[in-house]
Chains A and B, each alone.
Chain A
Amino acid sequence: MERVDWCSETGGSMSMISAWRDRLHDWANRMPRLVQQPWMTRLPWVVRSEEDPARHGQQPLVPAASIAGRALVTVIAIMTFLAGLTAGAAQLVSEASAGWRSSVAREVTIQVRPAPARDVDADVARAVSLSRATPGVTAVRAYTRAESERLLEPWLGTGLNFDELPVPRIIVLQIDPERRPDFGALRRSLADTVRGATLDDHRLWIDRLGTMANTLVLLGIGIMILVLAATGLAVVFATRGAMAGNREIVEVLHFVGASDDYIAREFQKHFLRLGMRGGAIGGACAAVFFLGAGALAATVVATPGGTQIQALFGTIDLGGGGYLAIAAIASVVAGLTAIVSRLTVRRTLLELG
C-alpha cells in the first residue's frame, strides 16, 4: 500500500501533534481502503508526496470559512425553507381544490319543488326519465321524500312533521366527465316538461373554488418572489461585506494580473458554494417538514379533527413533483446567490476602479 505521510501544518505543540500524527498514521495504514478514497486526499491534515497531484490542489482564492459566510448560509437556509413551505402549501391547496372541483363537477342536481295541484312524484319520475335519456348522464338517483326530509334534519331537528312543508325533491345525476351533457338543452327540456324543476350544475361553486385556489397559488408565488428578492438583497449585502473584508486579497489579485472577470468568478464560486449549502439545508428542512406533517396527519386520520383535515386538504402528501419543486427552489436559490454575487462584485470592482 502506498504510504501516506501525515503531518501538521501548524508547526505548534509539536510533541502532542506528532503523537496524534503517529496515531493517525498507524490508523490510516491499517485501513488501506479508506485512505485510498479520493475524499481522504482533500482532508487538510493529509500531506502526500510532492509528485502527488492531490498535494498541490488549489484552495479557493476567497477564504471559505468566515462568520459572515456562516450567517449567510443560515439566512439562505431559512429563506429556502420558507419558500419550500410556501410552494408545498400552494401545491397542496391547488391539488385539494382540483379534487373538490372534480368531485363537484362529476354530478349535478335537479330540484323539483312541490306545487299546488301537482303530483310531485309524477314530476320526479318525468325528470328522472328525461335525465336518463340525456346523453352524458351515467346514473340518476332520485331521493325519496323521507331522504329529502332527512337532509333538512341538521337544520330543523328531528321529530318534526314535514307534511305541511313544501320540501323539494332532489335528483342527483352522475355525469361522464369525458362527455358532459348539454345542460342548456336539459334545462330547457325540464322547464317544458316538469314545472318547478331547476337544474343546478354547481358552476357557481366550481368557479368560486377555482378562484380561491388560484388566489392562494398566486399568493404563494408572490411570497416566493418576495423570499427570493429578500435572499438576493441579503446576498448583495453579504457580497459587499465579503469584498470589504477581502479588499487586500482583491488588491493582490489585481496586482498579480487577475482580471475583474476572474475575480468576479472566484467570488461567484464562493457564493455558489454558500448558496448550495444553504439551499440544501433549507430544502431538506422543508422536505422533512412535509414528510413529518404527512406522517402526523396519517396518525390522526381516525380522529374527527384528522377527518376534517383530510376532507379539506386530502392527504398531506406532496408527491414526487412537490419534492422536486422544493429541490428546484433550492437550486434556484443557489443559482440566484451566485449570479447576484457576481453582478455585485463586478459593480463593486467598477466602483473601486
Chain B
Amino acid sequence: MVRFENVGLRYGMGPEVLRDITFSIEPQSFQFLTGPSGAGKTTLLRLILPALKPTRGLINLFGHDVAGIEKDTLTALRRRMGVVFQDFRLLEHLTTYENVALPLRVQGRDETSYRAEVIELLRWVGLGERMHVMPPVLSGGEKQRAAIARALIAQPQLLLADEPTGNVDPTLARRLLRLFVELNKAGTAIVIATHDIALMDQFDGARRLVLGDGRLHVYD
C-alpha cells in the first residue's frame, strides 16, 4: 500500500531531517508512529500524503511512484486516504455537517446521496447535536471528532491521524482509539502519529514506528 525506500528529506540547504527512511504499510495494518516532539512525525505523514517531495529515495503509494505522478492520479490516491490533522484544519465558514461531508462533496456526489451517512457518522462520534454549528463554536474535543469524522466519511483504505487524541480527555481518547481499531477491523490501514505512551499501551496488536534522530526504527 505504502512503501518508502531510503527516503531522505532536507529543507533547503539545511541538514536532513529524515534519513534513510525505509518501511512499508500493508493493507489492513495498524501502526503507531511515535517519537519525541520535533522528531519528524508530521513531516513523515506529509510525505505519505504526499504534501512534501522527498529530496532522495523512493516513495510508492498504491503502486504509483510519487516522483512522476500526474495530478489526476494524485487526486485519485488522496481519495483513498483519510487524514486527521493535528490542528484539525476544519473550514471555519462551513458547518460541522458540511466539513464532515467535504470529501464526498468534492467527489461531485449529490448532497442527498450522502446526507444520511454523514448524519449517522456525526451521531456516532457524538456530534449529532452539533452538526449545524460552525467550528469556532466547537470545543477542542468536538473539533477533533469532527476532523476524524471527515477523515472517515469516504471509507478510506488508509487513515493517517496526527495526534488524534491530543485535545481530548483520556476517556474520549480510549473511545477514539476503539473507533480506529474498529475501522482497522473493517479493513482500513491505520497510521496514528502520537507520543502518548499510554494510548499505545492500550493496543498491543499495533506496529510501532519510532522516529529518532531523523531515522525510523520499526518494531513489529
Contacts and interface: CB of A to CB of B under 8 A. Distances in A.
Interface in A177-223: none
Contact of A9 (B75, B103, B133): B133
B98 A11 contact: no
Contacts of A11: 133, 137
A59 B79 CA distance: 22
Given A248-B89, A256-B78, A50 B106 contact: no
B112 A259 contact: no
Q: Which of A10, A255, A353 counts the most B-chain CB atoms under 10 A from its CB?
A: A255
Contact of A255 (B51, B105, B112): B51
B53 to A, nearest CB: 11
Nearest to A248: B89
Contacts of B93: 59, 63-64
B111 A259 contact: no
Given A58-B98, A58-B111, A258 B75 contact: yes
A259 B89 contact: no
B107 A257 contact: yes
A150 to B, nearest CB: 79
Interface of A: 9-11, 47, 50, 53, 55-56, 58-59, 61, 63-64, 248-249, 251-260, 262, 353
Given A256-B106, A259-B71, A353-B71, A59 B95 contact: yes
Interface of B: 49, 51, 71-72, 75-76, 78-79, 83, 89, 91, 93-95, 97-98, 102-103, 105-108, 111-112, 115, 119, 132-134, 137, 150, 154
A50 B119 contact: yes
A56 B49 CA distance: 30
Contact of B78 (A59, A248, A255, A353): A255
Given A53-B112, A254-B78, A259-B72, A249 B91 contact: yes
B132 A55 contact: yes
Nearest to A53: B112
Contacts of B51: 251, 255
B78 A56 contact: no
B111 A56 contact: yes
Contact of A252 (B91, B108, B134): B91
B97 A56 contact: yes
Contacts of B108: 262
Contacts of A251: 51, 89
A11 B129 CA distance: 13
